[in-house]
Amino acid sequence: GENVEQHPSTLSVQEGDSAVIKCTYSDSASNYFPWYKQELGKGPQLIIDIRSNVGEKKDQRIAVTLNKTAKHFSLHITETQPEDSAVYFCAAYPEGYRSGGSYIPTFGRGTSLIVHP
């Protein structure tokens, strides 16, 4: 099955700095790589995703890059703000209906991002 490794487990930055979280995956059948943000006391919410036919995707201050050959993908947050403080999860899985795979997401263990004002 799929195995997803996520690093670092904790990341502390100053407001305005950039933050990078990295994930590696093992199953070459995975073609969908979402990132979820979990604020305290809430369920995770999708913030950005990337599919295997794309190398990079941006949405304002956040971006995700994918290296299929090396089987790793990263989340980049620029100009961090205190409200970016949360736990971030990466995931990898085959996006079922189109690829014939199954929607069984495998998550990394999460990164606690702390942005100091």
Partner 1 sequence: DAGITQSPRYKITETGRQVTLMCHQTWSHSYMFWYRQDLGHGLRLIYYSAAADITDKGEVPDGYVVSRSKTENFPLTLESATRSQTSVYFCASIDGANTGELFFGEGSRLTVL
Residues that bind partner 1 (CB under 8 A): 6, 32, 34, 36, 41-46, 49, 89, 91, 93, 95-97, 102-110
22 vs 78, which CB is nearer to partner 1? 22
Q: Kindly give, in sequence order, each residue whose CB lies less than 8 Å from that of residue 21, ignoring residues fewer than 6 positions away.
A: 6, 7, 8, 11, 74, 75, 88, 90, 111, 113
Q: Give me the least distance between CB of 6 and partner 1, in Å please.
A: 8
Q: How would you list the strands of the sheet with 56-59, edge to edge?
A: 4-7, 19-25, 72-77, 62-67, 56-59
Helix (H), strand (E) counts: the chain: 1, 11
Query: Cα separation of 78 and 72, whole Å?
Result: 20
55 vs 96, which CB is nearer to partner 1? 96
Q: Give me the least distance between CB of 46 and partner 1, in Å please.
A: 5
90 vs 115, which CB is nearer to partner 1? 90
Q: Give me the least distance between CB of 16 and partner 1, in Å please.
A: 28
- The type of residue at 103 is Y
38 vs 78, which CB is nearer to partner 1? 38
7 C-beta neighbours (distance < 10 Å), count:
13
Q: Give me the least distance between CB of 117 and partner 1, in Å please.
A: 25
